[in-house]
Amino acid sequence: MESGKHASVFVHAVLRESLSNYKPESNSPWMFCDRTGDKPITLRWADMILRAAVEKAGLAAKGISTHSTRRSFITKLHRNGTDLYTIKKITPHKDGKALERYVEIDSDRVKGAIAAL
């Protein structure tokens, strides 16, 4: 991304409302910045923050991670009828093959598809 340009991200109205009340401690242009305030936090740091919160909440045994939340998000979109092309637009996936690995299809859905023939 070029310096001075920011990516737009579509968010749910409830999340937008929650984030509108968030006030970062620094004057950084980033909502979630690194320690210097000059750059956004890295995925690795975000993952560490999530894992610490999961541990503190006593949910470590649940296997919650940035990867599992991404998989759950994509699977829920698909189960609710969102087509893969739209999901690809929402997520950072560049190709359908990579995206397909995140979609979990349960056996009832497969049975239902076959029964619909």
Per run of 10 residues, the mean pLDDT along the chain (length 117 residues) is 57 88 78 83 90 93 88 90 89 82 84 89
CA 28 – CA 19 distance, rounded (Å): 15
79-108 pLDDT, tens digit per residue, is: 899 988 899 888 878 888 888 888 888 888
Q: What is the pLDDT of residue 56?
A: 95
CA 71 – CA 101 distance, rounded (Å): 9
CA 101 – CA 99 distance, rounded (Å): 5
The pTM of the full predicted model, rounded to 2 decimals, is 0.66
CA 32 – CA 39 distance, rounded (Å): 9
